[in-house]
Amino acid sequence: MENIVFGIGITALTGALATVAGAAEDTESNIGSQGDPNSQVQLAPQMGFLHRIFNKAVAGEPPAYGLWCCLGAGLAWAFMAMQINAVLAIVLGCILAVFVQGVYATTAYLGRTASLKKFGQPVYVDILKSMTTVTMAHAFVAIFCTVTLCYLMNAALGHPFPLPLLGLVWGISLGAAGSAVGNPYYGKERQYQNQKFGAGVPISASGNIVRYAEAGERNSLDNGFFTAKLGGPASGVCFGLIVFLELWRTILFEKIAAGWGAIIVGLLMILVFTIIDRYIEVWARKTYGPYTKPEEASS
């Protein structure tokens, strides 16, 4: 019984850490402009729209966060093997991982922008100086939370995987969840804020991202400020739910029916989310209505 209570306590803690990690991850990738929306930042100068957005082309978020979290976890493991206290080891490991992240960010910006010479896109050194540290700060929060939750899974809950492997697994999942949920919000809602609300960006408008906005010329901090209001927390809730529910159903139900208890609970959860998703979809169709009359629409 005590075991289960301890397990649930750790599960709650990891769920909270995962939520913070997801929110920080999405905000960081939006400030740096990473992943699929970054294709627009790359495309804009080619269509004649020069900008002051940070162009952080470091793979996609899943492999990149897989690396930062795995690296942070590996360094933490190495420090712990050198008999350094666990908390200090994790902090040191994450600091070094963030340093790598910052360097990759700067080289990506310089590389992509220098290769756009033909279209006249300048390299803004002040953007490099001001954005990099902000993305590093958000990344530190995300990486630290993820490495900590991996450590808790390994040390407190007894998962067989060693710390670096857990870092790899949850880093990639963090990137996948945060990228899936946060990218459309950044890409459609903020980058193309000048397009009509409530519809996708028409293909003819590709490249025409917003470059002049609330406070003069827009930069990535403005983007981060916006997406941190909904995209970030939504990504956080997504990753937090993933980690929390995965652990919760295992801790509580794995002993029931020789493991089948956890499986049945998992399937029930999938069913619940399917119903919620269907509700959302139907609500949108009913409340927003179609764009055109059904007969006029072309497939």
Q: Which of residues 276-295 bind another protein (CB under 8 A)?
A: 276-278, 280-281, 283-285, 288, 290-294
Q: Hey, what are 160's tokens?
A: 């067989």
Q: Hey, what are 30's tokens?
A: 């939006």
Task: Please give the Cα distance from 283 to 292 (Å, whole number).
Answer: 18
Residue 1 Cβ, how far from another protein at the closest point, in Å?
20
Sequence-distant (≥ 6) Cβ neighbours of residue 252 within 8 angstroms: 4, 7, 8, 262, 265
Q: Centre a 10 Å sphere on the Cβ of residue 106 and count the other Cβ atoms it contains.
A: 16
50 binds another protein (CB under 8 A): yes
234 binds another protein (CB under 8 A): yes
Q: Is the dihedral of CA 269, 233, 74, 110 positive or negative?
A: positive
**Closest CB to another protein among 141 and 173?**
173
193 binds another protein (CB under 8 A): no
214 binds another protein (CB under 8 A): no
Q: Which of 1, 2, 197, 215 binds another protein (CB under 8 A)?
A: 197
Burial of 85 (0-12, 13-18, 19+ CB in 10 A): exposed
215 binds another protein (CB under 8 A): no
269 binds another protein (CB under 8 A): yes
**By the 8 A CB rule, do 239 and 18 touch?**
yes
Q: Which of 7, 54, 124, 226 binds another protein (CB under 8 A)?
A: 124
Q: Which of 98, 139, 152, 176 binds another protein (CB under 8 A)?
A: 176
Distances (CA, A) of 199 to 36, 188, 267: 19, 9, 34
Query: Which of the ranges 8-16, 132-140, 141-149, 259-267 carries the binding residues for another protein, by CB under 8 A?
Result: 259-267
Q: How many residues bind another protein (CB under 8 A)?
A: 144
Task: Please give the Cα distance from 18 to 149 (Å, whole number).
Answer: 7
237 binds another protein (CB under 8 A): yes
Residue 50 Cβ, how far from another protein at the closest point, in Å?
5
Phi-psi group of 289: left, alpha or beta (phi > 0 → left; psi -120 to 50 → alpha; rest → beta): left
For helices 2-32 and 125-155, angle between their N-to-C axes, nearest 10 degrees? 170
Residue 290 Cβ, how far from another protein at the closest point, in Å?
4
**Closest CB to another protein among 16 and 116?**
116
Q: Which of 1, 2, 82, 215 binds another protein (CB under 8 A)?
A: 82
CA atoms within 13 A on the CB side of 4: 10
Residue 154 Cβ, how far from another protein at the closest point, in Å?
11
Q: Hey, what are 72's tokens?
A: 């942070």
Residue 86 Cβ, how far from another protein at the closest point, in Å?
14
Task: Please give the Cα distance from 236 to 142 (Å, whole number).
Answer: 10
Q: Which of 18, 21, 57, 141 binds another protein (CB under 8 A)?
A: 57
Residue 17 Cβ, how far from another protein at the closest point, in Å?
16
Of residues 89-108, those binding another protein (CB under 8 A): 96, 100, 103-104, 107-108
Residue 59 Cβ, how far from another protein at the closest point, in Å?
4
Of residues 130-159, those binding another protein (CB under 8 A): 159
